[in-house]
Structure 1
Amino acid sequence: MKRVFFVVSVLALAASLAFAGGGQAKGNKGVTFTIALSEDIRAIDPGVAWNYVTNQVTNQITEGLLTLDGSNNIVPELAKSWRQADDLTYVYEVRDDIVFSDGTKMTMDDVVFSLERNRDPDGGTYFSDFYADVASISATGPWQLTIKLNNPSAVFKYIPAIGAGRIISKAYYQKHADNFGTAEGGIIATGPFVYKSWTSGQEIVLAKNTNYWNKAKLQANIIDTVVYKIIPDDTTRVVALQTGSVDFCANIPPEMLDQLQADKSLNMTIAPSYQLTYLAMNTQRAPMNDVNVRKAISHVLNLDEFQRNIIKTAGSAGTVLPFGAALYGNDAAKWQQYLNTAPKYDYDLAKARQALAQSAYPNGFNCDVIISESSLASSRALFLQEALKPLNINVEIRKMSGDEQDTYQMGGVMDSNGYRDYDMLIGGWEADYPDLNGNIEIMFVSSQAGEDGYNAAAYVNPRVDNLIETQRSQTDPVKRFDIQKQLMDIIVNDTPYIVYDYSLRQSVLNKKYTGLAVSSAWLWVLPVQNIRAAN
C-alpha cells in the first residue's frame, strides 16, 4: 500500500473556475448543505483520496462495485451481487442500468479501466499496493467481472468496497488525462453529486446529480448543493458550527468536544474508529537508530496521564499494539490476553534511565519532532518535550501545516544522506478496512520505509516483512492470529513507534438535520444524500 506524493499544479492558477460537466437541476431552490474541512483537498480524484478530507468530497461523487454498511458488512452498490468462487477468484455481477453524471451509460470497459488504473503503480493513484495479490481483472460476461489473485488474501474482499474500487468514466478520463481531478478538469462518475468548482484554500462546491441512477434515492435527496468550507483553525471551525455557518464537521478537535456537546443546536455522534496517533522514531538515523534510545523514550511517557488530562473521552490510551480494539475483530479476547502478558511501554523513569545508559547516548542529546499545526498536535509535542527533559533529551518542535507534515510522514523530504529528514514525527494512521492488516502493513513493511512511503519510522526488518506477507495470505483465522502474534513480539521489542492513543471518531450535525453521522467505515461511507430535515 503506497501513497504516491501528488501535487495539483494548477490549483493556484485555475482553482476558482466552474466546471461545466454533470447534471444539475436548473433553478431548483433546494437545500444548500455546508461541511467544514480542516484542510484543503488534494484533488477531485478518488485515486488520491487518502487524507481525511479529500475522501469526504470524492465519496459523494464516486461509487464502487461494493460498499460497507453500518455494521461493516460488504454489500453491493454498482454490482448486483458478488461471490468468492475459490481462494483465488472473485466474481461480480455488475448492474446494467448505471449511468454517469453526464448521462452516458457505464460499461464494463469503465469498470475494468477504473480498477486497472488503481492497480497500475504508474496510474497516478495511491492504491496500487492494494492490488499486489491480483493476477488479472477481466470482463467474463456482458455484465460480469472476474478478479483472479496470485495468492490467497484475507483482506482483498474489502478492496472493491473502499476508495481503491471507485469507478470513473473512462472516456472522460482519457479526454482529460492532462487535468483530470484538478479544478479545471474535474471528474465524471456515478455518485449522487457532481463536481462544480474548487477555489483553492477556500471551498469546494458540488451539486445534485439529476442523472443519478438510483431514482428512489435521487427523489428522496433534499440537498441540491454541497459546499465544503476549508477552515484549518480548530477554534474557527468550532465557532462556525456553533453559529450555523456550517452544518456538519467530522474533523473535530478533541479538546473542544465538551463545548460542542453542550451546544443545544448541535448533535454529536461518537463512533469507534480504526485510527491511532503515534510517535514515530526514525530508525534509520542517529540517535533514533539506537533501539535503547527508543526503549528509553517508551518508558518516559505517561500515556495514561496524557489520556486522562488531554484526550479524555476522545479516545483511549495507547498500548504496545499498533491497532486499537476496533480492529481486534473475532480475536478480541486473544489480543487482550496478549496485552496482559506482553512487555509494556509503561511509565518508569528508572527503566528509561537504564535503557538510555545502555545506549550510545547515555548523557542525552538534542533532537527534533515534526508536528502539524493543530492544537492537539502541539499538546502532544509539549508533553513529549517535557517528559524527555529528565533524560537530558532536548526536543525542538518543528510545527508546520497539515499538508507539509503529511509530506514528511510519507517520506517526501529526505536529508543529504537519503534518510527521512526528522528524528521523530507525531502522526497517525487509520486502517482503510476492518482488519488490522490495514495498520500493520502500512506502518511496518520495509517497502513503505523510503520516499513516498507511510512507514514513518523508516523501520526495516526482513523477518517482519515476511510475517506481514504470510499473515495477509493466511485465510485460516487461528493460524493467522499465531502469525500476527509472532509479528507483534518482534515489533514490540524493536519499538519503532509509540502509540499515544486510539481515537474515537466524532461528528457534529446541526439539529436542523438528521441522517448524517460517522461510523467506523466513515473514510468511505459518509452519504450526504441521506440527510433529511429534522422536522
Structure 2
Amino acid sequence: MNAHPTQSVFRRARRKAAMVFAGALAVPLLLAGCSDDSSDSPADGATDGATDSETPASGTFDSLTVALPSSVSSLDVSREAGIVNYTIALLAQESLLGIDADGQLVPALAESWDAPDASTYVLQIRDGVTFSDGTDLTVDDVIASINVHAEEGSTSALAYAYAGVESVEATGEREITIRLTEPNSAFPWILSPGTLQITSDEFIEANKDTIGTPETLLLGTGPYKITEFVPDSHVALEANTEWWNGEPKASSVRLDFI
C-alpha cells in the first residue's frame, strides 16, 4: 500500500468531497430518486424532453436533456477528475457512503460503518444491490474498487486520498475491514463520492486501461446506465430499473456538452 498520509492529504480529500457535494452532485440528486410531487421541474440548464401526456403522476420524465458547460475526454474520475466528470459518473456509479442535503455522511452501498479503534474501519456492504449489467455487488467488487487507488504504484488521480491505507480485506460475507497506517477520524469522507466510485472486479480486470472511454464507458450500481459517450457532443443514459434505492426520475437522460 501507499506511504504514510499527512493531514494535508485528508484536508484535500475533504475539500474534494465538499466540491462534489456543492457542484457535481446537483444533477445526480435531481435525477436520482422519484418524487410524489408532479409539479417538479428541471433545474436551471435542464430541459424536460417529455410532453405532459408522457409525464407520469409520480413526477418522473420520459426523457430529459441537460446542458453541461464543457466536454470531457474520459468518464473515469480516476483519470480525469473535473466537476463535469463527476456529474456524469455519479449518475451511474455510487460510493460506500453518501452525502445528504445537510452535507453529512450517510449510508450508501455500505449500510453501516464502525471504527473499533482509531485506525480501523469496518463496513457492512448492502445486500441485494446489482450493477446495471445485472451482476450482484460483492465485497470483492468493493475491495477491487478501493485498490484501484490504494494499491502500490497506483496512477489514479485519487491515489493521494488512500495514502494512509495499510490493508483492505473481507472479514465477512458482506463485511470489509480497512486498516490505516495511523489514526484518522476523517477517513470515512474518503469513502464518499468525492474519492470513491464502486465498479465490479470483473469489469476492472477486463477493461483496466479503457474504463471511461467511448468504447468501454462505466459500470456502476447507480440510478442510470451510460449507453453512449461521444466526446465534444454528448453522453446518453437510460434508467437502471433495478436500482436498489428507488425509481429514477427519468427514463432516459442526455447530457449535452456546450
- Assess same fold via TM > 0.5: yes
Q: How does 1:77-88 map to 2 (within 5 A)?
A: 77-88=108-119
Paired with 1:51 and 1:41, the residues of 2 have a C-alpha distance of 8
Q: Secondary structure at the match of 1:96?
A: coil
Matched residue type, 1:226: V
Match of 2:30 in 1: none
Q: Does 1:193 align with 2:224?
A: yes
Q: Does 1:228 align with 2:255?
A: yes
Matched residue type, 2:254: V
Paired with 1:40 and 1:111, the residues of 2 have a C-alpha distance of 29
Matched residue type, 1:86: D
| Aligned residue among 200, 203, 209 for 1:172 | 203
Paired with 1:62 and 1:123, the residues of 2 have a C-alpha distance of 20
TM, length-normalised to structure 2: 0.73
Q: Secondary structure at the match of 1:186?
A: coil
Matched residue type, 1:142: E
Deviation at 1:227, TM superposition (A): 1.1
Match of 1:95 in 2: 126
Q: How does 1:364-403 map to 2 (within 5 A)?
A: none
Paired with 2:152 and 2:98, the residues of 1 have a C-alpha distance of 24
Paired with 1:74 and 1:178, the residues of 2 have a C-alpha distance of 31
Counting helix residues as a fraction of each chain, which structure ranks higher?
1
Paired with 1:80 and 1:200, the residues of 2 have a C-alpha distance of 35
Paired with 1:132 and 1:65, the residues of 2 have a C-alpha distance of 18
Q: Secondary structure at the match of 1:97?
A: coil
Q: How does 1:68-147 map to 2 (within 5 A)?
A: 68-120=99-151, 122-147=153-178
Query: Could you list the per-position Cα deviations for residues 47-104 of structure 1 after superposition, in whole angstroms to 9, with x for gaps in the alignment?
Result: 2352111100000000011111111111100111111221111110111211110101
| Aligned residue among 200, 204, 210 for 2:235 | 204
Task: Give the number of the structure whose alpha-carbon radius of gyration is greater.
Answer: 1
Q: Which has the higher contact order (CA 8 A, sep 6+)?
A: 2
Deviation at 1:124, TM superposition (A): 4.2
Match of 1:58 in 2: 89
Matched residue type, 1:227: R
Q: How does 1:258-269 map to 2 (within 5 A)?
A: none
Q: Secondary structure at the match of 1:164?
A: coil
Q: Does 1:38 align with 2:69?
A: yes
Q: Secondary structure at the match of 2:195?
A: helix
Give 5+ residue unaligned stretches, structure 2.
1-8, 13-53, 55-60
**Contact 2:120 2:178 (8 Å CA) reproduced:** yes
Q: How many residues align?
A: 202
TM, length-normalised to structure 1: 0.36
- RMSD between aligned alpha carbons? 2.0
Match of 2:4 in 1: none
Q: How does 1:283-362 map to 2 (within 5 A)?
A: none
Query: Could you list the per-position Cα deviations for residues 460-489 of structure 1 after superposition, in whole angstroms to 9, with x for gaps in the alignment?
Result: xxxxxxxxxxxxxxxxxxxxxxxxxxxxxx
Paired with 2:156 and 2:67, the residues of 1 have a C-alpha distance of 25
**Contact 1:46 1:62 (8 Å CA) reproduced:** no
Paired with 1:230 and 1:114, the residues of 2 have a C-alpha distance of 28
Paired with 1:128 and 1:178, the residues of 2 have a C-alpha distance of 16
**Contact 2:166 2:179 (8 Å CA) reproduced:** yes
Paired with 1:176 and 1:230, the residues of 2 have a C-alpha distance of 25
Paired with 1:178 and 1:91, the residues of 2 have a C-alpha distance of 30
Query: Could you list the per-position Cα deviations for residues 141-169 of structure 1 after superposition, in whole angstroms to 9, with x for gaps in the alignment?
Result: 11111111111224212010123221101
Deviation at 1:170, TM superposition (A): 1.3
Structure 2 vs 1, CA of residues 82 and 40 (structure 1 numbering), >3 Å: closer, same or farther?
Answer: same
| Aligned residue among 172, 175, 183 for 2:214 | 183
Match of 2:6 in 1: none
